[in-house]
Structure 1
Amino acid sequence: MRTTFVTGAVLLATFGTAAVPASGMPARPPVPAKDMVIDVVAANGSGCPRGTAAVTVSPDNKAFTVSYSEFTAQAGAGTKPTDFRKNCQLALNVHVPQGYTYAIANTDYRGYAHLERGASALQTSFYYFQGESKTTRYRHALSGPLDSDYQRTDTLGVASLSFLPCGEQRYLNVNTELRVSAGSSDRKKTSFLTMDSTDGNLDTIYHVTWQKC
Protein backbone atom coordinates (compact mmCIF):
# COMPACT_ATOMS: atom_id res chain seq x y z
CA MET A 1 0.00 0.00 0.00
CA ARG A 2 1.37 3.40 -0.94
CA THR A 3 1.95 5.88 1.85
CA THR A 4 1.63 8.92 -0.42
CA PHE A 5 -1.86 9.57 -1.76
CA VAL A 6 -2.21 10.93 -5.27
CA THR A 7 -5.41 12.30 -6.73
CA GLY A 8 -6.41 14.58 -9.54
CA ALA A 9 -8.99 16.73 -11.24
CA VAL A 10 -9.80 16.21 -14.89
CA LEU A 11 -11.76 18.60 -17.08
CA LEU A 12 -13.52 16.83 -19.93
CA ALA A 13 -14.78 19.24 -22.58
CA THR A 14 -17.69 19.02 -25.00
CA PHE A 15 -16.80 21.63 -27.59
CA GLY A 16 -19.25 23.83 -29.48
CA THR A 17 -22.90 24.68 -28.98
CA ALA A 18 -25.72 22.34 -28.11
CA ALA A 19 -27.52 22.97 -31.40
CA VAL A 20 -29.94 20.28 -32.61
CA PRO A 21 -30.56 19.94 -36.37
CA ALA A 22 -33.90 19.14 -38.00
CA SER A 23 -33.17 15.42 -37.79
CA GLY A 24 -33.39 15.66 -34.00
CA MET A 25 -29.85 14.33 -33.52
CA PRO A 26 -27.40 16.63 -31.68
CA ALA A 27 -24.88 18.29 -34.01
CA ARG A 28 -21.33 17.09 -33.50
CA PRO A 29 -19.53 20.06 -31.95
CA PRO A 30 -16.22 21.23 -33.46
CA VAL A 31 -12.94 21.17 -31.56
CA PRO A 32 -11.04 24.48 -31.31
CA ALA A 33 -7.90 24.49 -33.43
CA LYS A 34 -5.75 25.87 -30.62
CA ASP A 35 -4.88 23.96 -27.49
CA MET A 36 -6.14 24.84 -24.03
CA VAL A 37 -3.44 26.07 -21.68
CA ILE A 38 -4.09 25.85 -17.94
CA ASP A 39 -1.91 27.28 -15.18
CA VAL A 40 -2.29 26.88 -11.41
CA VAL A 41 -2.16 30.50 -10.28
CA ALA A 42 -2.65 29.66 -6.61
CA ALA A 43 -3.06 26.52 -4.52
CA ASN A 44 -3.86 27.07 -0.86
CA GLY A 45 -5.09 24.86 1.94
CA SER A 46 -4.12 21.99 4.18
CA GLY A 47 -5.04 19.50 1.43
CA CYS A 48 -2.62 20.97 -1.11
CA PRO A 49 0.42 22.56 0.57
CA ARG A 50 2.85 24.50 -1.60
CA GLY A 51 4.35 22.34 -4.30
CA THR A 52 1.84 19.48 -3.99
CA ALA A 53 -0.55 20.46 -6.82
CA ALA A 54 0.22 20.57 -10.55
CA VAL A 55 -1.74 20.72 -13.82
CA THR A 56 -1.30 18.54 -16.90
CA VAL A 57 -3.30 19.10 -20.10
CA SER A 58 -4.31 16.00 -22.07
CA PRO A 59 -2.89 15.51 -25.60
CA ASP A 60 -6.39 15.50 -27.14
CA ASN A 61 -7.13 19.00 -25.80
CA LYS A 62 -10.27 17.72 -24.05
CA ALA A 63 -9.09 17.41 -20.45
CA PHE A 64 -6.71 18.68 -17.81
CA THR A 65 -5.57 16.96 -14.64
CA VAL A 66 -4.76 18.67 -11.36
CA SER A 67 -2.58 16.22 -9.41
CA TYR A 68 -2.23 16.30 -5.63
CA SER A 69 0.19 14.47 -3.37
CA GLU A 70 -1.50 15.27 -0.03
CA PHE A 71 -5.28 15.33 0.44
CA THR A 72 -6.62 13.12 3.25
CA ALA A 73 -8.86 13.91 6.23
CA GLN A 74 -8.90 11.52 9.18
CA ALA A 75 -10.13 11.12 12.75
CA GLY A 76 -9.62 8.64 15.56
CA ALA A 77 -6.55 6.85 16.85
CA GLY A 78 -3.18 8.42 16.04
CA THR A 79 -4.59 11.59 14.46
CA LYS A 80 -4.09 15.24 15.32
CA PRO A 81 -7.04 17.51 16.24
CA THR A 82 -6.64 19.38 12.93
CA ASP A 83 -6.59 16.24 10.76
CA PHE A 84 -10.39 15.91 10.65
CA ARG A 85 -10.66 18.68 8.02
CA LYS A 86 -8.60 19.20 4.86
CA ASN A 87 -9.29 21.66 2.07
CA CYS A 88 -7.77 22.87 -1.17
CA GLN A 89 -8.50 26.15 -2.93
CA LEU A 90 -7.27 26.32 -6.52
CA ALA A 91 -7.21 29.34 -8.81
CA LEU A 92 -6.87 28.05 -12.38
CA ASN A 93 -6.03 30.27 -15.32
CA VAL A 94 -7.77 28.55 -18.25
CA HIS A 95 -6.63 30.12 -21.52
CA VAL A 96 -9.73 29.62 -23.67
CA PRO A 97 -9.24 29.32 -27.45
CA GLN A 98 -10.29 32.52 -29.24
CA GLY A 99 -13.95 32.55 -30.17
CA TYR A 100 -15.04 30.11 -27.45
CA THR A 101 -16.35 30.20 -23.90
CA TYR A 102 -17.22 27.43 -21.43
CA ALA A 103 -19.24 26.43 -18.36
CA ILE A 104 -18.98 23.52 -15.94
CA ALA A 105 -21.90 21.14 -16.52
CA ASN A 106 -21.22 18.34 -14.03
CA THR A 107 -18.45 16.93 -11.88
CA ASP A 108 -17.53 13.37 -10.95
CA TYR A 109 -15.73 13.00 -7.62
CA ARG A 110 -14.00 9.75 -6.78
CA GLY A 111 -12.08 8.76 -3.71
CA TYR A 112 -11.51 6.17 -1.03
CA ALA A 113 -13.28 6.02 2.31
CA HIS A 114 -12.50 3.94 5.38
CA LEU A 115 -15.13 4.76 8.00
CA GLU A 116 -15.63 2.73 11.15
CA ARG A 117 -19.16 2.02 12.39
CA GLY A 118 -20.51 5.24 13.91
CA ALA A 119 -18.11 7.49 11.95
CA SER A 120 -19.14 9.82 9.11
CA ALA A 121 -17.58 11.99 6.43
CA LEU A 122 -18.53 14.96 4.27
CA GLN A 123 -17.13 16.07 0.92
CA THR A 124 -17.99 19.63 -0.08
CA SER A 125 -17.07 21.37 -3.33
CA PHE A 126 -17.83 24.63 -5.03
CA TYR A 127 -16.51 26.52 -8.03
CA TYR A 128 -16.99 29.91 -9.60
CA PHE A 129 -15.36 32.37 -11.97
CA GLN A 130 -13.29 35.18 -10.51
CA GLY A 131 -15.39 38.26 -9.75
CA GLU A 132 -18.73 36.43 -9.86
CA SER A 133 -21.05 36.25 -6.88
CA LYS A 134 -22.77 33.11 -8.20
CA THR A 135 -21.25 30.03 -6.59
CA THR A 136 -22.12 26.42 -7.38
CA ARG A 137 -21.88 24.30 -4.23
CA TYR A 138 -22.48 20.59 -3.58
CA ARG A 139 -22.19 18.32 -0.56
CA HIS A 140 -21.95 14.54 -0.33
CA ALA A 141 -22.23 12.65 2.96
CA LEU A 142 -20.89 9.17 3.74
CA SER A 143 -21.49 6.99 6.80
CA GLY A 144 -19.69 4.03 8.31
CA PRO A 145 -19.13 1.21 8.26
CA LEU A 146 -17.53 1.75 4.87
CA ASP A 147 -14.26 0.58 3.36
CA SER A 148 -14.20 1.08 -0.41
CA ASP A 149 -13.78 3.42 -3.35
CA TYR A 150 -16.60 5.93 -3.79
CA GLN A 151 -17.91 8.11 -6.61
CA ARG A 152 -20.32 11.02 -6.46
CA THR A 153 -21.57 13.24 -9.30
CA ASP A 154 -22.65 16.88 -9.22
CA THR A 155 -24.99 17.76 -12.10
CA LEU A 156 -26.19 21.23 -13.11
CA GLY A 157 -29.36 21.86 -15.06
CA VAL A 158 -29.14 23.82 -18.31
CA ALA A 159 -30.67 26.88 -16.65
CA SER A 160 -28.00 26.79 -13.94
CA LEU A 161 -24.98 26.83 -16.25
CA SER A 162 -22.71 29.81 -15.71
CA PHE A 163 -20.61 30.61 -18.79
CA LEU A 164 -17.44 32.64 -18.71
CA PRO A 165 -18.28 35.98 -20.39
CA CYS A 166 -16.98 35.94 -23.96
CA GLY A 167 -13.66 37.68 -24.45
CA GLU A 168 -12.87 37.87 -20.72
CA GLN A 169 -10.00 36.15 -18.93
CA ARG A 170 -11.02 35.16 -15.40
CA TYR A 171 -9.64 32.54 -13.07
CA LEU A 172 -11.72 29.43 -12.39
CA ASN A 173 -11.78 28.95 -8.63
CA VAL A 174 -12.26 25.40 -7.34
CA ASN A 175 -12.58 24.71 -3.61
CA THR A 176 -12.84 21.18 -2.25
CA GLU A 177 -13.14 20.19 1.41
CA LEU A 178 -13.03 16.81 3.18
CA ARG A 179 -14.27 16.30 6.76
CA VAL A 180 -14.30 13.19 8.94
CA SER A 181 -16.05 12.73 12.28
CA ALA A 182 -15.22 9.80 14.55
CA GLY A 183 -18.72 10.06 16.03
CA SER A 184 -19.57 7.06 18.17
CA SER A 185 -16.93 4.83 16.57
CA ASP A 186 -14.23 3.00 18.48
CA ARG A 187 -11.67 5.68 19.34
CA LYS A 188 -8.90 3.08 19.13
CA LYS A 189 -9.49 2.88 15.38
CA THR A 190 -8.93 5.42 12.59
CA SER A 191 -11.40 6.60 9.95
CA PHE A 192 -10.35 8.56 6.88
CA LEU A 193 -11.55 10.02 3.60
CA THR A 194 -9.22 10.79 0.73
CA MET A 195 -9.38 12.03 -2.84
CA ASP A 196 -7.59 8.86 -3.83
CA SER A 197 -8.12 5.17 -4.58
CA THR A 198 -6.51 1.94 -3.43
CA ASP A 199 -4.04 2.05 -6.32
CA GLY A 200 -2.89 5.54 -5.39
CA ASN A 201 -4.23 7.27 -8.49
CA LEU A 202 -7.69 8.77 -8.96
CA ASP A 203 -9.41 11.53 -10.89
CA THR A 204 -12.05 14.12 -10.12
CA ILE A 205 -13.69 14.87 -13.45
CA TYR A 206 -15.07 18.30 -14.36
CA HIS A 207 -17.28 18.03 -17.44
CA VAL A 208 -17.76 21.33 -19.26
CA THR A 209 -19.83 22.63 -22.13
CA TRP A 210 -18.15 24.86 -24.71
CA GLN A 211 -19.91 27.48 -26.82
CA LYS A 212 -18.86 29.67 -29.70
CA CYS A 213 -19.01 33.36 -28.94
Structure 2
Amino acid sequence: MIHTIAAAAVAMATVVVPSADRPPPGEVTIKVVTINGSGCPRDTVAVGVSPDNTTFHAIYSNYVAAVGVGARPTDFRKNCQLNLQVNVPEGFTFGITQVDYRGFVHLEPGATGMERGNFYFHGVPASEYKSHTWRGPLNDDWYATDTVDIGMPVYRPCGEARNLNINTELRVSAGTSDPKTTTSYMAMDSTDANVATDYHFAWKRCP
Protein backbone atom coordinates (compact mmCIF):
# COMPACT_ATOMS: atom_id res chain seq x y z
CA MET A 1 0.00 0.00 0.00
CA ILE A 2 1.29 3.45 -0.84
CA HIS A 3 1.89 5.64 2.19
CA THR A 4 2.66 9.34 2.53
CA ILE A 5 1.46 12.69 3.61
CA ALA A 6 1.71 16.18 2.42
CA ALA A 7 2.07 19.82 3.63
CA ALA A 8 0.92 23.25 4.86
CA ALA A 9 1.85 26.89 5.29
CA VAL A 10 1.02 29.61 7.81
CA ALA A 11 0.14 33.32 7.99
CA MET A 12 0.98 36.04 10.50
CA ALA A 13 -1.40 38.38 12.31
CA THR A 14 -1.75 40.20 15.63
CA VAL A 15 -4.52 39.32 18.06
CA VAL A 16 -4.01 40.70 21.55
CA VAL A 17 -5.32 38.27 24.16
CA PRO A 18 -3.79 37.04 27.44
CA SER A 19 -1.60 33.98 27.12
CA ALA A 20 -2.54 30.53 28.38
CA ASP A 21 0.15 28.54 30.20
CA ARG A 22 -1.10 25.19 28.95
CA PRO A 23 -3.83 23.64 26.79
CA PRO A 24 -7.31 24.13 28.23
CA PRO A 25 -9.01 21.42 30.27
CA GLY A 26 -12.11 19.91 28.78
CA GLU A 27 -12.90 18.50 25.39
CA VAL A 28 -11.69 19.89 22.07
CA THR A 29 -13.58 18.49 19.07
CA ILE A 30 -13.28 18.95 15.32
CA LYS A 31 -16.01 18.45 12.73
CA VAL A 32 -15.20 18.22 9.03
CA VAL A 33 -17.72 20.60 7.44
CA THR A 34 -16.68 20.29 3.79
CA ILE A 35 -14.12 18.28 1.82
CA ASN A 36 -13.06 19.16 -1.71
CA GLY A 37 -10.30 18.02 -4.02
CA SER A 38 -9.00 15.16 -6.12
CA GLY A 39 -6.80 13.91 -3.28
CA CYS A 40 -9.56 13.38 -0.76
CA PRO A 41 -12.72 11.74 -2.09
CA ARG A 42 -15.64 11.40 0.31
CA ASP A 43 -14.96 9.22 3.37
CA THR A 44 -11.18 9.16 2.82
CA VAL A 45 -10.18 11.72 5.50
CA ALA A 46 -10.19 11.31 9.29
CA VAL A 47 -9.49 14.16 11.73
CA GLY A 48 -8.82 13.76 15.46
CA VAL A 49 -7.47 15.65 18.49
CA SER A 50 -4.67 14.40 20.75
CA PRO A 51 -5.73 13.48 24.34
CA ASP A 52 -3.70 16.38 25.78
CA ASN A 53 -5.20 19.00 23.41
CA THR A 54 -1.78 19.95 22.05
CA THR A 55 -2.31 18.83 18.44
CA PHE A 56 -4.84 17.58 15.95
CA HIS A 57 -4.14 15.30 13.01
CA ALA A 58 -5.49 14.56 9.55
CA ILE A 59 -5.19 11.07 8.06
CA TYR A 60 -5.84 10.48 4.36
CA SER A 61 -6.53 7.11 2.77
CA ASN A 62 -6.59 7.92 -0.95
CA TYR A 63 -4.22 10.84 -1.54
CA VAL A 64 -1.63 9.88 -4.19
CA ALA A 65 -0.07 11.86 -7.05
CA ALA A 66 1.67 9.84 -9.75
CA VAL A 67 3.15 9.92 -13.24
CA GLY A 68 4.15 7.11 -15.57
CA VAL A 69 2.93 3.58 -16.09
CA GLY A 70 -0.57 3.09 -14.67
CA ALA A 71 -1.16 6.79 -13.97
CA ARG A 72 -3.80 8.90 -15.69
CA PRO A 73 -2.78 12.25 -17.26
CA THR A 74 -4.45 14.16 -14.40
CA ASP A 75 -2.82 12.10 -11.62
CA PHE A 76 0.36 14.21 -11.57
CA ARG A 77 -1.43 16.71 -9.29
CA LYS A 78 -3.71 15.99 -6.35
CA ASN A 79 -5.11 18.47 -3.84
CA CYS A 80 -7.38 18.58 -0.80
CA GLN A 81 -9.30 21.43 0.84
CA LEU A 82 -10.75 20.87 4.32
CA ASN A 83 -13.11 23.23 6.13
CA LEU A 84 -13.06 22.42 9.85
CA GLN A 85 -15.30 23.48 12.72
CA VAL A 86 -13.05 23.47 15.81
CA ASN A 87 -14.94 23.51 19.11
CA VAL A 88 -12.87 24.58 22.14
CA PRO A 89 -13.66 25.12 25.85
CA GLU A 90 -15.27 28.45 26.74
CA GLY A 91 -12.81 31.23 27.48
CA PHE A 92 -10.08 30.00 25.12
CA THR A 93 -9.03 30.54 21.54
CA PHE A 94 -6.31 28.97 19.41
CA GLY A 95 -3.85 29.34 16.59
CA ILE A 96 -1.47 26.97 14.81
CA THR A 97 2.28 27.16 15.45
CA GLN A 98 3.62 24.19 13.48
CA VAL A 99 2.58 21.56 10.96
CA ASP A 100 4.38 18.22 10.60
CA TYR A 101 3.98 16.18 7.42
CA ARG A 102 5.00 12.55 6.95
CA GLY A 103 4.68 10.07 4.15
CA PHE A 104 6.28 7.90 1.52
CA VAL A 105 7.67 8.80 -1.89
CA HIS A 106 8.99 6.80 -4.83
CA LEU A 107 10.81 8.84 -7.48
CA GLU A 108 12.69 7.47 -10.45
CA PRO A 109 16.02 9.11 -11.38
CA GLY A 110 15.25 12.52 -12.86
CA ALA A 111 11.72 12.75 -11.38
CA THR A 112 10.63 15.24 -8.69
CA GLY A 113 7.88 15.39 -6.08
CA MET A 114 6.46 18.46 -4.38
CA GLU A 115 4.17 19.06 -1.41
CA ARG A 116 2.73 22.43 -0.49
CA GLY A 117 0.04 23.75 1.82
CA ASN A 118 -1.43 26.59 3.82
CA PHE A 119 -4.21 27.24 6.33
CA TYR A 120 -6.29 30.17 7.53
CA PHE A 121 -9.44 31.11 9.39
CA HIS A 122 -12.59 32.02 7.47
CA GLY A 123 -12.68 35.75 6.79
CA VAL A 124 -8.91 36.18 7.16
CA PRO A 125 -6.70 36.61 4.04
CA ALA A 126 -5.15 33.33 3.03
CA SER A 127 -1.50 32.85 3.88
CA GLU A 128 1.15 32.16 1.27
CA TYR A 129 1.78 28.52 0.48
CA LYS A 130 4.94 26.85 1.75
CA SER A 131 6.39 24.05 -0.34
CA HIS A 132 8.92 21.22 -0.12
CA THR A 133 10.55 19.37 -3.02
CA TRP A 134 12.18 15.93 -3.33
CA ARG A 135 14.28 14.63 -6.22
CA GLY A 136 14.82 11.11 -7.49
CA PRO A 137 16.13 8.54 -7.25
CA LEU A 138 14.27 8.14 -3.95
CA ASN A 139 12.22 5.37 -2.36
CA ASP A 140 11.65 6.19 1.30
CA ASP A 141 9.52 7.85 3.96
CA TRP A 142 9.52 11.65 3.82
CA TYR A 143 9.05 14.26 6.52
CA ALA A 144 8.63 18.04 6.41
CA THR A 145 7.78 20.74 8.95
CA ASP A 146 6.36 24.25 8.53
CA THR A 147 6.58 26.61 11.50
CA VAL A 148 5.26 30.05 12.41
CA ASP A 149 7.67 32.72 13.60
CA ILE A 150 7.89 32.75 17.40
CA GLY A 151 5.08 34.80 18.90
CA MET A 152 3.34 35.30 15.56
CA PRO A 153 0.64 32.63 15.11
CA VAL A 154 -2.76 33.64 13.77
CA TYR A 155 -5.42 33.28 16.48
CA ARG A 156 -9.12 32.85 15.87
CA PRO A 157 -10.86 36.00 17.16
CA CYS A 158 -12.33 35.42 20.62
CA GLY A 159 -16.06 34.78 20.63
CA GLU A 160 -16.23 34.15 16.86
CA ALA A 161 -16.99 30.72 15.41
CA ARG A 162 -14.76 31.00 12.36
CA ASN A 163 -13.92 27.72 10.65
CA LEU A 164 -10.36 26.69 9.89
CA ASN A 165 -9.47 26.06 6.25
CA ILE A 166 -6.64 23.67 5.34
CA ASN A 167 -5.27 23.35 1.82
CA THR A 168 -2.68 20.80 0.68
CA GLU A 169 -1.33 19.74 -2.69
CA LEU A 170 0.94 17.04 -4.13
CA ARG A 171 2.66 17.18 -7.53
CA VAL A 172 4.92 14.70 -9.27
CA SER A 173 6.91 15.44 -12.42
CA ALA A 174 8.56 12.82 -14.61
CA GLY A 175 11.40 15.22 -15.41
CA THR A 176 14.06 13.34 -17.32
CA SER A 177 12.71 9.91 -16.32
CA ASP A 178 10.78 7.88 -18.89
CA PRO A 179 7.04 7.85 -18.02
CA LYS A 180 6.45 5.12 -20.61
CA THR A 181 8.49 2.58 -18.68
CA THR A 182 8.59 3.85 -15.07
CA THR A 183 6.25 5.15 -12.38
CA SER A 184 6.92 7.84 -9.78
CA TYR A 185 4.50 8.74 -7.00
CA MET A 186 4.05 10.73 -3.82
CA ALA A 187 1.18 10.20 -1.41
CA MET A 188 -0.63 11.23 1.72
CA ASP A 189 -2.16 7.81 1.93
CA SER A 190 -2.28 5.84 5.18
CA THR A 191 -4.46 3.96 7.62
CA ASP A 192 -1.78 4.31 10.31
CA ALA A 193 -2.42 7.05 12.92
CA ASN A 194 1.35 7.41 13.30
CA VAL A 195 1.58 8.54 9.66
CA ALA A 196 -0.49 11.70 9.76
CA THR A 197 -0.32 15.44 9.23
CA ASP A 198 -0.05 16.97 12.71
CA TYR A 199 -1.17 20.53 13.46
CA HIS A 200 0.19 22.00 16.71
CA PHE A 201 -2.14 24.25 18.70
CA ALA A 202 -1.16 27.56 20.32
CA TRP A 203 -3.65 28.40 23.10
CA LYS A 204 -4.75 31.78 24.47
CA ARG A 205 -7.22 32.83 27.13
CA CYS A 206 -9.90 35.23 25.97
CA PRO A 207 -10.55 38.43 27.98
Unaligned stretches of 5+ residues in structure 1: 10-15, 19-28
Q: 2: CA distance between counterparts of 1:37 and 1:199?
A: 20
The answer to whether the Cα contact below 8 Å between 1:8 and 1:67 also exists between their aligned partners in 2 is no
Task: Tell me what 2:79 maps to.
Answer: 87
Give the AA of the match of 1:118.
G
* 1:112 partnered with 2:104: yes
Q: 2: CA distance between counterparts of 1:51 and 1:197?
A: 13
Q: 2: CA distance between counterparts of 1:134 and 1:88?
A: 15
The answer to whether the Cα contact below 8 Å between 1:6 and 1:200 also exists between their aligned partners in 2 is no
Q: Residues 139-160 of structure 1: CA distance to partner in whole angstroms, max 9, x if unpaired?
A: 1111111111111111110354
Task: Tell me what 1:25 maps to.
Answer: none
Q: Of 31, 55, 61, which residue of structure 2 is paired with 1:69?
A: 61
Larger Rg: 1
The answer to whether the Cα contact below 8 Å between 1:118 and 1:185 also exists between their aligned partners in 2 is yes
- TM-score, structure 1 as length reference: 0.83
> How far 1:54 sits from its partner (Å)?
2.4
Unaligned stretches of 5+ residues in structure 2: 8-17
Count of residues paired in the alignment? 195
The answer to whether the Cα contact below 8 Å between 2:6 and 2:101 also exists between their aligned partners in 1 is no
Q: 1: CA distance between counterparts of 2:193 and 2:24?
A: 33
Once superposed, which parts of structure 1, at least 4 consecutive aligned residues long, lie more than 4 Å away?
5-9, 196-201
Task: Tell me what 1:190 maps to.
Answer: 183
The one of the two structures with greater contact order (alpha-carbon pairs below 8 A, sep at least 6) is 2
Q: Of 34, 55, 69, which residue of structure 1 is paired with 2:26?
A: 34
Q: Residues 63-90 of structure 1: CA distance to partner in whole angstroms, max 9, x if unpaired?
A: 3332221001000112100110111100
Q: 2: CA distance between counterparts of 1:69 and 1:197?
A: 5
CA RMSD of aligned residues (A): 2.4
Q: What does 1:128-207 align with in structure 2 at a 5 Å threshold?
A: 128-158=120-150, 160-187=152-179, 188-196=181-189, 202-207=195-200
- TM-score, structure 2 as length reference: 0.85
Q: Secondary structure at the match of 2:75?
A: helix
Task: Tell me what 2:19 maps to.
Answer: 17
Q: 2: CA distance between counterparts of 1:6 and 1:155?
A: 20
Q: Of 48, 56, 69, which residue of structure 1 is paired with 2:48?
A: 56
